[in-house]
Amino acid sequence: MSIAAEQGRVCALAAKGQRDLQKRATAHPELFPSRPFDAGLFSSIALAMAFSAPWCTVAELGVTNRAVLWGFAVDWQVDHLAKSREEIDRIVDNSLAVADGAAAAADDPLGRFLAELRDDLAAVPAFAELRGWWREEINRSLTAMAREWDWKQARDSGSAQPSLEEYLGNSDNLACTVVNVAHWIHTGDADTHRQLPRLVAVSDEVQRALRLVNDLATYERDLEWGDLNAIMLAGDRAEVERWRDAQADRCRDLLVGLTESCPRQAAYLSRQLGFTSGFYRSTDFWGAR
């Protein structure tokens, strides 16, 4: 009964997170159309973060959840709405300007949503010192998304595609580490903030594992939507599974080493990897296109 009670508490944390995400999406209807931003997506985000950090409060996870939702929003803008490299560059430039403190333009819903997230983070006294970490992770994610957009254009014109190793090296397009940095800035203590360089390094390795877990589960959808996928590049599902297993083993070793100095952060990354691996066995985050 105690296990079920704890799981119920975590699900309640997720339910409150889902309602907050739905409220935020309703306030930005031009950014979050009901297809593919359906209730299942909001629920899945909230569940993923609640099970990754069940010790957090609703308020603490609210910022983390919104950081995840921003990642989905920018991914949708870059991957499926942008029609030119100029549009991609504008998204990148506007987002970085907002991260640096600029006001978002009235016709920039993505920038307005990011500005709200920035202001939430700015309520943390340490943000003034740590803003550069968050800004750099935003830059890395946007740059990686733009690079994948270029690869897709090259594919469509018959040009050579990246190797599996190059593709995996571009895993910042998954926007996991940028979320984790926002989470640690918002919820972490002074020691967590001092450990950010090490935490980012381990998070990047987990992010690569999640990229492979995601691709193995979403191959059919990626074919339908025209996205790149590790299986397409390797030409062999079994090869990608071997890469996933090796990367997961590497993550486990790194997390064991991280546990002594950063036990809660190591648990967060471990639970994140475990939840996502189980989640993708039967479903996906995105709703119908």
d(CA 16, CA 89): 35
Is 289's pLDDT higher than 80? Answer: no
Q: What pLDDT sits at residue 2?
A: 87
Split into its structural domains, the chain has a count of: 1
- Average pLDDT of span 17-21: 98
Which tokens in the block code for residue 124? 């943390």
Structural domain includes residue 284: no
CA 81/CA 229 separation, integer angstroms: 19
d(CA 127, CA 165): 34
Does residue 134 surpass a pLDDT of 90? yes
pLDDT in tens, 88-128: 999 999 999 999 999 999 999 999 999 999 999 999 999 99
CATH of the domain at 97: 1.10.600.10
| Mean pLDDT for the stretch of residues 159-172 | 96
Quick check: is 287 in a domain? no
pLDDT score for 1: 62
Whether residue 208 lies inside any domain: the answer is yes
**Mean of pLDDT over the chain:** 96
The residue with greater pLDDT, 73 or 289, is: 73
- Which one is predicted more confidently, 115 or 2? 115
**CA-based nearest residue to 239, from 219, 212, 269:** 212
Residue 288 has pLDDT above 90, yes or no: no
When computed from its CA atoms, the radius of gyration of the chain, rounded to whole angstroms, is 18
Parent domain of 104: 2-279
| C-alpha span between 235 and 255 (Å, rounded) | 31
Domain assignment present for residue 156? The answer is yes
Residue 220 has a pLDDT of: 95
Give the mean model confidence (pLDDT) for residues 36-56. 97
Q: Is 265 among the domain residues?
A: yes
pLDDT in tens, 182-202: 999 999 999 999 999 999 999
User: So what's the pLDDT on residue 151?
Assistant: 97
- For residue 54, say if its preceding peptide bond is cis, omega within 30 degrees of 0: no
Q: Report the distance separating Cα 44 and Cα 286, nearest Å.
A: 9
d(CA 157, CA 281): 34
Average pLDDT over residues 253-257: 97
Q: What end-to-end distance do the CA atoms of the chain give, in Å?
A: 40
Within 10 angstroms of residue 257's Cβ, the number of other Cβ atoms is: 13
In a domain, 288, yes or no: no
What pLDDT, on a 0 to 100 scale, did the predictor assign at position 194?
97
Domain assignment present for 286: no
Q: What is the mean pLDDT of residues 23-44?
A: 96
Position 285 in a domain: no
The per-residue pLDDT for range 168-183, each reduced to its tens digit, is 999 999 999 999 999 9
